[in-house]
Structure 1
Amino acid sequence: MNNNNLILTPQGKKKLEDELLALRTKRPLALEELQRARAMGDLKENSAYQAARSHLTDIDRHIIKRELMLRRSTVVEKQDIETIQIGSVVTVQNGSFEMIVTIVGESEADPKKKHISHGSPLAKALLGKKKGEQARLTTETTVIEYSIIDIT
């Protein structure tokens, strides 16, 4: 896979498509607002026009960004629930500490939701492993061993 590809889970692709649809729905309303503000007169002194223009530009930028992301994306479907891969929900344990993480594409990563990028050090240590195996995360100062408790 080359560096121009964006790896997505099916859920990540759906989220991008939903965002794109919402933006395309907002755009005509933003365009109407711009036209109303333009009708108010002098565009250099018209703060409503400047704000409406900025809002429309933001919407257009977000539309283009999501279209590009979808065009260069590769959707990765889980092939095997016994092996950790992109899309896997993994329960790991280190001593008495247990956590559940979901391995996703880079653009889907969200630490608050414990969605980690497939390129993160922890995901790299987990990818390809099976339930009951150990994953070793090595940092500059320490080595952390995780037991793989469950994969879904």
Structure 2
Amino acid sequence: MTQADERDGVWLTQSKFDELTAELEELRGPGRTAVVEKVSQARDEGDLKENGGYHAAREELGKLDGRIAQLVEMLKNARVGEKPADDGVVEPGMLVTIRFVGDSDTEEFLLGAREMAGEGVQVYSPQSPMGEAINGHKKGETVTYTAPNGKELQIEIVEAVPYDG
């Protein structure tokens, strides 16, 4: 796997990979079949322009197909069970603690996919502005990045440890 592939892949535990694979199988099989049946039944009710049930079923099918596509892509690029090294270097799969320069409060989050996070764990994507800025940096380093609002922010990496979620 190249360094670019490692950054682009989503880190998943084996149990989370298995859980998402089962969800995908359910959505592709019985889940999708049930929604397609709803669409078909609603279509049989007549005039499609004023058929709210049909439009709702089509919207549900679109959301389901979107989730299927998301899961396929995520699982295809997953780095399964490859727990990051406990070396203080920020990378996907790490629980990161940062402090905005000039502020005494810290913020903790998982750098990775939201599907990995346990209850109450905040997640930042490695592709987010902050995620891209801190990825590859070490505990104790200060990093500057441009926030989505255009403001330049400086953050200190206080801690980076593998997420055990």
Bin of the TM-score, shorter chain as denominator length = 0.5 to 0.7
Match of 2:158 in 1: 148
Match of 1:135 in 2: 142
Query: Match for 2:123 among 115, 118, 122?
Result: 115
Query: Match for 1:84 among 77, 84, 90?
Result: 90
| Equivalent-residue separation in structure 2 for 1:39 and 1:128 (angstroms) | 56
Match of 2:24 in 1: 20
Aligned length: 146
* Stretches (4+) displaced over 4 A: 11-16, 43-46, 107-110, 138-143
| Equivalent-residue separation in structure 1 for 2:40 and 2:154 (angstroms) | 59
One-letter amino acid matched to 2:107: M
| Equivalent-residue separation in structure 2 for 1:122 and 1:31 (angstroms) | 40
One-letter amino acid matched to 2:94: S
Q: CA deviation at 1:35?
A: 3.7
| Equivalent-residue separation in structure 2 for 1:37 and 1:143 (angstroms) | 52
Structure with max Cα Rg: 1
TM-score, length of structure 1 as denominator length: 0.63
Could you tell me which runs of 5 or more consecutive residues in structure 1 were left unpaired when the two chains were aligned: none
| Equivalent-residue separation in structure 2 for 1:143 and 1:121 (angstroms) | 11
| Equivalent-residue separation in structure 2 for 1:116 and 1:70 (angstroms) | 19
Inter-CA distance 137–108: structure 2 relative to 1 (3 Å threshold)? farther
User: Aligned-residue CA RMSD in angstroms?
Assistant: 3.9
Q: Percent identity?
A: 23
| Equivalent-residue separation in structure 1 for 2:25 and 2:159 (angstroms) | 39
